[in-house]
Amino acid sequence: MSLTFRHFASLAALASLSVAATPVFAALPLGASAPPVSTPAVIAGKPFEFHLAEALRHGPVVLYFFPAAFTSGCTIEAHEFSDATAAFAAQGATVIGLAHDPIDKLSKFSVTECRNKFAVGVASSAIIDAYKVKMPILSMSDRTSFVIAPDGRIIFAYSALSPNGHVEKTLAAVRAWRAAHPVR
C-alpha cells in the first residue's frame, strides 16, 4: 500500500495528538539514587566536561531536561533559570540544563538564552534513558526538572510540558533542603 500525502499528514497529526495527550511523569522516584552523569557541557560558550558527582560536592544540583535548544518553551525556561541563577547560588545549588542537542548548538544557546549564567550539556540517549525522561516516539527528553541532594538522592522531581513552574518549584525544593541543612 502506498501512502499518499494525505495519509502521511493524517498519521502525523494522530502521532502529534498522542504525544500531546500522553502524560509526562518523572519516572525516578523521590529518594532514588541519581544516575551518574558525565557529559560535554558549556557555560558562557566555554566547553567543559560536566560530572554530576563533582557538582554534588558543592551542594544540591538542579538537573533539568529540556526537549531542544532554541524552541519557544525551552527558551522561556532558560530565561527563567537565568533570572533565578543568583537565588539558586545563594542556596549553594548548581543548575545545569540537559538536551539531546549537539554541543555547538548548546554553546550558542548557553550565551544567548542562558545568558552566560548556567551550564547546559548534552543529554545522551543513555542519560535520557537512565533518568527515564524520554519523550514518547521521539529521541529527545521531555521537560523534567530534578533536584538532587549532595548525597546523590533525588529530593524533587517535576515533569510538565509547559516551562511554567519548573524554576519556581525547583527553587522552593532547594530552599526547603537548605533550611533543613543550614550551612555551618
Q: What pLDDT, on the 0 to 100 scale, is given for residue 11? A: 30
Rounded to two decimals, the pTM is 0.85
Give the Cα separation of 95 and 120 in Å (integer).
Answer: 9
Residue 134 is predicted with a pLDDT of 93
Distance (Å, whole) CA 8 – CA 145: 34
Q: How far apart are CA 129 and CA 125, in angstroms?
A: 6
- Catalytic position from the list 26, 69, 74, 135: 74
- The domain ranges of the chain are 28-180
Q: What is the pLDDT of residue 25?
A: 53
Question: Would you call 114 a catalytic residue per the annotation?
Answer: no
Second-level CATH architecture of 28-180: 3-Layer(aba) Sandwich (3.40)
CA 170 to CA 19: how far, in whole Å? 25
- Please identify every stretch of the chain with a pLDDT value under 70, giving residue numbers as ranges: 1-26
pLDDT at 57: 97
